Amino acid sequence: MGGEGGAALTVPAALQALSQDPSLSLTLVGNQQEIQPMLQAVPAMASRCSIVHAQSLVTDADEPRNVLRAGRDSSMYKAVELVQQGEVEAMVSAGNTGALLMIGRHLLKTIPGIQKPAIVATIPGAARQSYLLDVGANPECTAQQLFEFAVMGSVLAESLSGNAARVGLLNIGSEQYKGTAAVRETAARLERCHSMDYMGFVEANDLFEGDVDVVVCDGFVGNVTIKSSAGVANVVKRLLDEQLARIHASGDMAISVELVDSLTAQINPQRFNGASLLGLQGSIVKSHGNATAEGFCYAIRQAVKEIEREVPTLIATKVAAIMAAA
């Protein structure tokens, strides 16, 4: 029940997700005295919710390295523990990202052949949405780790779309000689890997064209990219909302309200909330800490998709096949 909104945000989001998916059941981990009254207000949905009481929560001020020792009674630790024990199939959290990574690696372990998990985010595109990773878990990466990110990202994209994934490397130019040594080495490895459709370097100005399905980068570059993009989208959305308000106030309907609403919805960052932690032997989805209830609901839906497609198992299978062929 972490994140800026706490249970006051995540419980309504959970109820919204339950109303959209009749087959879904949820376990809410947090302060039972806080959660129970909100569920009782919607008895039709509450029957598909259970509560696991947690004494404390991990805050953004908590150092990740201290969480394993002092945070075992926290809602975050207990929620990941439920995945480890097979009590639930995935967990969603809006809490401290570093702590979530630390707990996830400690309890779920990484998939054999994967050095470090990566955080993957969905980004909108002119043609189709694509996936960007890593967006914050690993600020510095070796070529081996970037290659593993490409493998994991391609599996996720293929499992969700049903089509072969086109993979690109985020770089400062399209020329082969540009980029860091790690990026250039990764490109060479991807070119030799026949089980992936490597498309070459992708520049930042082409990121939202939808020409590739997976864009790979280190966590520092990815985090700056995704946050900058969200900031731009929020500004554009606000400008569109202000323009729509002026249209309503003036009575001038020359501009289609439906068109403005459609554009606003398409660039709404909340629709793309829910960053998966790939590379663990279990599904964890990280919601942005300041997401709305709508955004957190999208994160829950992302977790459901990963459960249905058995993404961790698919990643393990592909990694094993690539290692065997190496």
Nearest to 99 by CA among 74, 135, 134, 133: 74
Enumerate residues 6+ apart whose C-beta is below 8 A from 159: 309, 310, 311, 314
Please state the CATH superfamily assignment of the domain spanning residues 118-271 in this structure.
Answer: Isopropylmalate Dehydrogenase (3.40.718.10)
pTM: 0.87
- Profile the chain (326 residues) by mean pLDDT over runs of 10 residues: 74 92 94 90 86 90 84 92 96 93 95 94 83 93 96 92 92 90 96 92 90 95 90 81 74 60 67 90 91 92 93 92 77
How far apart (Å, rounded) are the C-alpha atoms in residues 63 and 183?
30
CB atoms inside a 10 Å sphere around CB 71: 22
Measure the CA–CA gap between 218 and 272, rounded to whole angstroms.
20
Contacts made by residues 303-306, CB under 8 angstroms, sequence distance 24+:
303/90, 303/91, 303/92, 303/274, 304/17, 304/21, 304/24, 304/90, 305/160, 306/90, 306/156, 306/276
- DSSP state at residue 287: P
**CB burial readout 283-321, b (16+ within 10 A) else e:** bbbbbbeebbbebbbbbbbbbbbbeebebbebbbebbee
Using alpha carbons only, what angle is made at residue 173 by residues 169 and 176, rounded to the nearest 5 degrees?
75
Nearest-angstrom CA–CA distance, 106 and 110: 9
Q: What is the pLDDT of residue 276?
A: 93
Residue 210 burial by Cβ neighbours in a 10 Å radius (0-12, 13-18, 19+): middle
Structure tokens at 300: 């829950």
What is the domain partition of the chain in residue ranges?
A: 118-271
| pLDDT attached to residue 84 | 96
Q: What pLDDT does residue 4 have?
A: 59
The pLDDT of residue 259 is 63
Backbone phi and psi for residue 122, each to the nearest 5 degrees, phi listed first: -90, 135
